[in-house]
Structure 1
């Protein structure tokens, strides 16, 4: 789904007051019924992460963490069946999964001193490993009610990314296009590679394409310019012109590098011209 910059800004403005809970998707879908859920979720997730990066330092200050922790302990004791950690996260406008991480880390410091990130991540993935059953329940409530952060979201994002790459490979096979994927390229000793290198180039909308990169996200200004600088131009230097597929859409004004050799699409192109070797 290609969005004009004006459409994109309208969605972004609307997301400013939304929290990263499951209910926010219902609100977004009702407000923008003509846009796909995956596009709306991707835009909201990117915007919420930017917002969080700007404010996270406030929540990480030791005195603030201590205040959150002491309040959580009081509330959990007074109302053992209430979702007190989720309520606290919403009240202070912090991602529920990130609040769960702060409180669990502080809890473990009392129990075991400093714990490794690996142990902490393991407990966030599997709250049943947490010795305090009440805290385990609250951590679980936070992770399943967060649509932007946490182990469940990481898992879903990874699965969606894998699914998009499988879809891309299937589409290439349907067209009998010969290609090497990322794993095959790594085996050949390449370190930084696109998802697909075409063994025989194709033409899409009058542009030659040597490689294809699959992005299971929305292409906004920040992420696209980061990808251009860190990935796409290096692919262009190494392999020639290519195609980037943003499966969840992008701001249409960003598709401005076609003449320089980087083409943007929001789906697998239908109008492919293959070069015959005969």
Structure 2
């Protein structure tokens, strides 16, 4: 998926929530990536300002049992500031986000709601990004193996800055000989590309020579990168479509946050999941299209 910059920025401007996906004739995964990046950029701009006002957030909570309107961050980042101001450690905050029931009832209510709707910073959202990243790498690995191309993966290499795949011999890919391939499950606009270039790609070029980056959810049309169109298969479809099917004839009970995260963990390999009404709601909030089957 390649987008003209003008069209991309028009979409980005109008895309503010998950429900906006229906306004555009683009794969759900592409829209999900654009929206998540938009929210993350907003948080990065403002978090340092609000994080220094934790005491104010705590006082407001103690007086109103709610969070102040001026705290314009994503839901999970709001409660992180509150929990930190209450004296919780990073580990305790992480536990509270996965098990809000360890908190008192009023705090549990606010934290649970935040986790169940935050598609950028909740533990479920983090798991989604991790699983999708693994899926992208698996597609490339299987393709290289099918072509008989020998390579080493990032974890096999001992140097500090390494691509996902370092080829033993260069191969022709997208019209040029490449020595390495990097997988990114994002839509790359210029800001995203420049960020990765400074953090990773520039070093790879210096150390290993020419390479190629695959942006599975697309990129701007002028970029010297792959948009994944050279690949096909079920994993690629799942990356782009973000659809989960649930069976009403097979129901599951338990902690909805943990169940939702477990569903995401097995998204790559499982076709139909058991039904839980609250889990379906959470997964839709995270950006998935959920289809119910009898």
1:44-95 residue CA offsets vs partner (Å, 9 max, x unmatched): 1112221222223443343xx444434434444xxxxxxx55xx56x75321
Structure holding more helix per residue:
1
2:51 maps to 60
Instruction: Give unmatched runs, 5+ long, in structure 1.
Output: 19-23, 77-83, 110-114, 256-263, 271-278
2:258 maps to none
1:48 maps to 39
2:108 maps to 136
2:18 maps to 25
1:79 maps to none
Q: Do 1:168 and 1:268's aligned partners in 2 also have CA atoms closer than 8 Å?
A: no
Q: Distance in 2 between matches of 1:269 and 1:197?
A: 19
Q: Name which of structure 1's ranges 51-60 and 230-239 shifts more when overlaid on structure 2.
A: 51-60
Q: Distance in 2 between matches of 1:57 and 1:245?
A: 32
User: Aligned pair 1:35/2:21, yes or no?
Assistant: no
Aligned residue among 208, 222, 231 for 2:200: 231
1:259 maps to none
1:84-131 residue CA offsets vs partner (Å, 9 max, x unmatched): 55xx56x75321001111222233x3xxxxx4322222222332333x
2:138 maps to 166
Aligned residue among 199, 219, 225 for 2:168: 199
Shift of 1:172: 1.5
CA RMSD of superposed structures (Å) = 2.1
1:254 maps to 223
2:246 maps to none
The number of residues matched between the two structures is 231
Aligned residue among 80, 89, 103 for 1:101: 80
User: Aligned pair 1:69/2:48, yes or no?
Assistant: no
Q: Distance in 2 between matches of 1:171 and 1:102?
A: 44
Moved over 6 A (4+): none
1:3 maps to 3
Shift of 1:184: 1.8
Shift of 1:25: 1.7
Q: Do 2:174 and 2:226's aligned partners in 1 also have CA atoms closer than 8 Å?
A: no
2:124 maps to 152
Q: Distance in 2 between matches of 1:243 and 1:151?
A: 30
Q: Distance in 2 between matches of 1:211 and 1:92?
A: 43
Instruction: Give unmatched runs, 5+ long, in structure 2.
Output: 232-294
Length-normalised TM-score, structure 2 = 0.72
1:266 maps to 227
Q: Do 1:42 and 1:217's aligned partners in 2 also have CA atoms closer than 8 Å?
A: yes
Shift of 1:204: 2.2
> 1:58–1:231: structure 2 CA closer, same or farther, 3 Å change rule?
closer
Shift of 1:265: 0.5
Structure whose alpha-carbon radius of gyration is higher: 1
Q: Do 2:154 and 2:163's aligned partners in 1 also have CA atoms closer than 8 Å?
A: yes
1:136-169 residue CA offsets vs partner (Å, 9 max, x unmatched): 2320110110111122211211111112111211
Q: Do 1:201 and 1:210's aligned partners in 2 also have CA atoms closer than 8 Å?
A: yes
Aligned residue among 214, 238, 243 for 2:183: 214
Shift of 1:37: 1.1
